[in-house]
Amino acid sequence: MAKEPKLALIPLGGLGEIGKNMMAVRFGENILVIDCGLMFPEEEMLGIDVVIPDITYLLENKDAVRGIVLTHGHEDHIGALPYVLKQLNVPIYGTRLTLGLLQGKLKEQGVAGEANLQVVKPRDTVTIGPFKVEFIRVSHSIPDAVAVAIHTPVGVIVHTGDFKIDQTPVDGEVTDFYRFAQLGERGVLVLLSDSTNVERPGYTMSERMVGTTFDETFRQAKERIIVATFASNVHRLQQAITTAHRYDRKVAVIGRSMINVINIAHELGYLHIPEGTLVELEEANRLPKNKVVFLCTGSQGEPMSALTRMALGDHRQVEILPGDTIIVSATPIPGNEKLVARIIDQLFKQGAHVIYEAVSGIHVSGHPSQEELKLMINLVKPRFFVPVHGEYRMLIKHADLARSMGIPAENIFVAENGQVLEFTRRSGRIAGRVTAGRVLVDGLGVGDVGNIVLRDRRQLSQDGILIVVVTINRELGQVMAGPDIVSRGFVYVRESEQLMEEARQRVKEALEKCNDRGLSEWAAIKAQVRDVLGKFLYEKTRRRPMILPIIMEV
């Protein structure tokens, strides 16, 4: 009897976290990858710029990797490609806008020339090794988003990507219910579905609701209007532009990333800008106050963004004026709550009228709430279910939801990054583990900042550092210069001269004791200095700065 064919799904990112989405699909010696995203650093990853998936597993199986398919153009789905492509140059499949946005990022990082980009459209099917990959239209907070159905010899895998069920999408491109339903009717082996909003009951509101709020706000505003939102939310930008045009206002765009997106989306036909509506910032500044809308970045309170600079009175070209109406059209991403609140406070202090999420329906999510998740399960009717794109509790809640829909508990897998989910036509199991994890990017360094460096940064950030330098002559058994103590981030030195002098005395005494043994054992001297000084400082200040003894020998 022939061995039953097996298919493996191997999450390399995005499970147990929101970010760096990446899923490998393996059949024999063929691997197809879905998405390749980055993640923004956690608070404790001090100094880190971005986090990307560890692709050791793919590099170890380099010859098997047939391609990467992208579901949409958000950073957490395409943002790791500029790094990954340098190590793994395979064909990349995506819709036009997705690849347009990717192309921009690759250019910025100087790797655009190397990429093999293959444009697809919804309902296209492409053959990649033994896989037939079909792209299925979904709604999301960026246009041209797709789910993928992967037809494999073992069965059909449906990966929703990020989606919502928007019955009235801004671009009129409704989710392809028919294809999901048809696949469901014919039989789907595994459904992988977006868990981001599983904690929310009901339905996510349509993007069009924001258009209604824009309309009301624009109608009432007597002076300038400033709209801050995500640079990539083309639907939202479209609604702001359309509403501005309706009320006979010109639009100026502020913020490099938003200008980039608008250029690309406009060029590719995803953004419809009435002739003459878009103006340069200088021109906008000369127009009457009731004739202008500024569209800008910074809805997450990002320190260098346009809105933040304006709020702090630090923007070279735009100053917030009393009478301005400012719409912060976004929800703070978890972790950004305080940043955003501070910016809103600053805007109020400058006299602006600020409309923000806590008090009004000025933003809707791009992810599905519980009823939409149920609809997806009922359309696709999968044999096996794997919640993806969520922190651990969300995956658990999504698994609970799937069980409540009648999928047997043993057919639902709450997996972790790196776990291998192995399926035959009738069975599924967790079959081992491959290398997976996070790679930290700091400046030009990819992976050169690890736990030790982060631990040091943490200690430095809490209580600073004291450096103790002493020059000795080992032959003479004598201290030639020092000990000198220099501190940074510990205490304000001018007010603590006495403390520092006392500390120096303690070190001196410690060195004298060591000197009885001839100053020859550096490690012992250093340990002694650390010990004496650490105890002294803790007793005096209840702080534990890093203590770094340096011995110079002449």
The answer to whether 11 and 418 have CB atoms below 8 angstroms apart is yes
- Of 397, 398, 438, 526, which lies in the binding site for a second copy, with binding defined by CB under 8 A? 397
Which one of 20-28, 353-361, 418-426, 518-526 is the stretch in contact with a second copy (CB under 8 A)? 353-361
Residue identified by tokens 């988003």 is 145
Residues 399-438, one symbol each (x = binds a second copy by CB under 8 A, - = not), give: ----------------------------------------
CB atoms within 10 A of CB 150: 23
Q: Which is nearer to a second copy, 274 or 303 (CB)?
A: 303
Q: With binding defined as CB under 8 A, does residue 372 bind a second copy?
A: no
What are 243's two structure tokens?
Answer: 């509403």
Total count of residues recorded for the chain: 554
Query: Buried (b) or exposed (e) across 446-480, using 16+ Cβ within 10 A?
Result: eeebeeebbeebeebeebbbbebebbbeeeeeebe
Q: With binding defined as CB under 8 A, does residue 535 bind a second copy?
A: no
What is the strand order of the sheet 428-433 is part of? Answer: 117-119, 92-94, 65-69, 30-34, 22-27, 7-13, 419-423, 428-433
Q: With binding defined as CB under 8 A, does residue 16 bind a second copy?
A: yes
Q: How far apart are CA 163 and CA 97, in angstroms?
A: 16
At its nearest, how many Å lie between a second copy and the CB of residue 81?
A: 19
Does residue 41 have a cis bond before it (omega within 30 degrees)? no
Q: Which is nearer to a second copy, 246 or 349 (CB)?
A: 349
What is the strand order of the sheet 445-446 is part of? Answer: 50-53, 438-442, 445-446
**Secondary structure in 3-state letters for 121-169:** CCCCEEEECCEEEEEEECECCCCCCEEEEEECCCCEEEECCCCECCCCC
Least Cα distance to 474 among 417, 539, 520 occurs for 520
Catalytic residue list contains 367: yes
The answer to whether 120 and 126 have CB atoms below 8 angstroms apart is yes
Q: With binding defined as CB under 8 A, does residue 259 bind a second copy?
A: no
What are 193's two structure tokens?
Answer: 């579905």
Catalytic residue list contains 194: yes
Least Cα distance to 484 among 470, 494, 498, 505 occurs for 470
- Residue 9's Cβ-count burial label (10 Å; 0-12, 13-18, 19+) is buried
Q: How far apart are CA 481 and CA 554, in angstroms?
A: 10
Q: With binding defined as CB under 8 A, does residue 359 bind a second copy?
A: yes
Q: Which is nearer to a second copy, 123 or 535 (CB)?
A: 535
Residues 319-338, one symbol each (x = binds a second copy by CB under 8 A, - = not), give: ---------------xx-xx
CA angle 313, 317, 322 (to 5 degrees): 50
Question: Residue 139, SS3?
Answer: strand
What are 225's two structure tokens?
Answer: 């209007």
Residues 212-251, one symbol each (x = binds a second copy by CB under 8 A, - = not), give: ----------------------------------------
- Of 130, 323, 464, 534, which lies in the binding site for a second copy, with binding defined by CB under 8 A? 464
**Binding site feature residues:** 363-367
Q: With binding defined as CB under 8 A, does residue 501 bind a second copy?
A: no
- Of 181, 312, 375, 453, which lies in the binding site for a second copy, with binding defined by CB under 8 A? 453
Dihedral pair phi/psi, residue 137, rounded to 5°: -55, 130
Q: Which is nearer to a second copy, 181 or 396 (CB)?
A: 396
3-state percent helix, strand, coil for the chain, nearest multiple of 5 = 35, 25, 40
- Of 102, 157, 264, 546, which lies in the binding site for a second copy, with binding defined by CB under 8 A? 546
At its nearest, how many Å lie between a second copy and the CB of residue 295?
A: 22
- Of 356, 384, 385, 423, which lies in the binding site for a second copy, with binding defined by CB under 8 A? 356
Q: Which is nearer to a second copy, 110 or 276 (CB)?
A: 110
Q: Which is nearer to a second copy, 219 or 338 (CB)?
A: 338
Q: Which is nearer to a second copy, 153 or 443 (CB)?
A: 443
Q: With binding defined as CB under 8 A, does residue 515 bind a second copy?
A: no
Q: With binding defined as CB under 8 A, does residue 458 bind a second copy?
A: yes
- Contacts with a second copy by CB under 8 A: the residue count is 69
**Binding site feature residues for substrate:** 363-367
Q: Which of 74, 140, 367, 389 is catalytic?
A: 367
The answer to whether 537 and 545 have CB atoms below 8 angstroms apart is yes
Q: With binding defined as CB under 8 A, does residue 344 bind a second copy?
A: yes
Residue identified by tokens 């639009």 is 251
Point out the residues that are catalytic: 194, 367
Residues near a second copy (CB under 8 A) are 16, 42-43, 46-47, 199, 334-335, 337-338, 341, 344-346, 348-349, 354, 356, 358-359, 391-393, 396-397, 442-445, 448-450, 452-454, 456-458, 460-465, 467, 469, 471, 480-482, 484, 486, 488-492, 495-496, 540-543, 546, 548, 550, 552-554
